[in-house]
Structure 1
Amino acid sequence: MSEYRYEDAVKQLQESGAIGLVDLKSLPHDDLVELLEEIKVWCLYAGGKTEKLPKESKKKKKKKKD
């Protein structure tokens, strides 16, 4: 079984609109911090519309560019 990552958490949020504490606990720390920051922005500026959650980690995008 593969590791639960940022992209998996976003997909789960988009499909069900919720994420469990067990799932949050299984995220690596960096992914958890990034997801929580994205959720804050999403709640403030996107009105909670799940399709507006970024599907890919911004940190991973930066690594791909380098």
Structure 2
Amino acid sequence: MLLERAAAAGISRVTATVPVGWTAGEAFATALGGALCAPLPARPEVGNHRTGPRERAVRRVELRRGGR
């Protein structure tokens, strides 16, 4: 599992994003013990790419070892 591999590498927190309104993605993230953060506004650039016209705002998900 992802968190077990992260823990073996000394990592205690993994973050990901889920598009706002994608209930299946939010349910999957919370089933893994993830904590959904407040939605982030859509931006013209995210990370190393420019967002497309249909890319929505996202919610950050924090997964911590031990579910905390």
Per the TM superposition, whether the score is higher than 0.5 is no
State the TM-score, normalized to the length of structure 1.
0.29
Higher share of residues assigned helix: 1
User: Based on CA coordinates, which of the two structures has the bigger radius of gyration?
Assistant: 2
Higher normalized contact order (CA 8 Å, seq sep 6+, divided by chain length): 2
Higher share of residues assigned strand: 2
